[in-house]
């Protein structure tokens, strides 16, 4: 596992496109991911749900209301129903009729060009099967060495680790969450390779602790180039951003 993680980072701060290059194209769509790759991003970050009929579908929210012309929960809709939605017009007329992608379609489009931070969306103590679906797609596309799987739900990470133990996992968290998920993570004692905190939580003391525990640190969502340089200099391993081109220029002069 450690060799996979080390090969991914290569002693540099990686830049991940947050839901793709989402400042310039509709989030969590193939155009946003392809643009992130074209801008030179090391990776992309995306959000996965299980559809009603068992497909790994990319949408941020638990409903489709915000980023499509439809309404309803993702897990209550079939893949065909989700594919019928317009996921681009809300962002701009030039993206009209862009469709929600599956995880497999993202891997096929950019999986050999960028690393993929796969965030499992889960808000329950029990599972709807999303972990199994994600694991199956990763294995089918032989992406075990090109992904890191993350979630705000420690139990989802625990379930995924039990299914596909050879894939790195990262624990997502933010300040002032309604449930103390950090306490839950400590309680279940799940070994994991990375921490994914909100960037405002990071300072030198945090980084000293994280490195002492052996964690890689990938942080979100950073769009200020000055803050990005600060985080790099603190030793952050990955920066998740809506603007990969801006972050690359700040960090590497690209």
Establish whether 18 is a catalytic residue: yes
Asked if 100 and 29 touch (Cβ cutoff 8 Å), the reply is: yes
Interatomic CA distance for residues 163 and 132, integer angstroms = 7
Establish whether 60 is a catalytic residue: yes
Q: Give the count of beta carbons closer than 10 Å to the beta carbon of residue 42.
A: 22
Of the candidates 18, 55, 192, 196, the residue annotated as catalytic is 18
Q: What is the torsion angle, in degrees rounded to the nearest 10, for the CA atoms of residue 56, residue 37, residue 168 and residue 29?
A: -20
Asked if 118 and 144 touch (Cβ cutoff 8 Å), the reply is: no
H or E segment to which residue 199 belongs: none
What DSSP designation does 198 have? Answer: B
Of the candidates 49, 60, 192, 199, the residue annotated as catalytic is 60
Helix count (H) and strand count (E) of the chain?
Answer: 10, 9
Structure tokens at 194: 């990375």
Q: What is the per-residue DSSP string for 39-68?
A: TT-SEEEEEEEE-TTS-EEE-SSSBSTTTS
Interatomic CA distance for residues 86 and 142, integer angstroms = 30
Q: Which residues are catalytic?
A: 18, 60
């Amino acid at each position: 596992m450690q060799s996979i993680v080390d090969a991914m980072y290569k002693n540099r701060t990686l830049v991940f496109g947050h839901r793709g290059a989402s400042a310039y194209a509709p989030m969590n769509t193939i155009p946003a991911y392809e643009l992130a790759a074209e801008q030179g991003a090391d990776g992309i970050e995306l959000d996965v749900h299980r559809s009603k009929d068992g497909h790994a579908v990319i949408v941020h929210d638990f409903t489709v209301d915000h980023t499509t012309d439809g309404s309803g929960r993702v897990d209550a809709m079939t893949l065909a129903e989700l594919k019928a939605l317009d996921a681009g017009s809300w962002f701009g007329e030039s993206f009209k009729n862009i469709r929600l992608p599956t995880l497999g379609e993202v891997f096929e489009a950019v999986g050999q060009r960028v690393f993929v931070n796969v965030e499992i969306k889960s808000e329950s103590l029990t599972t709807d099967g999303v972990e199994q679906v994600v694991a199956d797609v990763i294995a089918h596309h032989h992406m075990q060495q090109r992904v890191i799987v993350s979630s705000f739900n420690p139990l989802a990470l625990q379930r995924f680790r039990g299914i596909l133990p050879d894939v790195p996992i990262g624990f997502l968290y933010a300040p002032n969450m309604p449930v103390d998920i950090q306490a839950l993570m400590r309680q279940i004692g799940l070994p994991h390779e990375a921490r994914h905190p909100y960037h405002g939580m990071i300072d030198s003391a945090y980084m000293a602790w994280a490195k002492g525990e052996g964690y890689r640190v990938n942080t979100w969502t950073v769009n200020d180039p000055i803050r990005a340089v600060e985080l790099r200099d603190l030793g952050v391993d990955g920066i998740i951003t809506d603007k990969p081109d801006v972050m690359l220029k700040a960090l590497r002069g690209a």
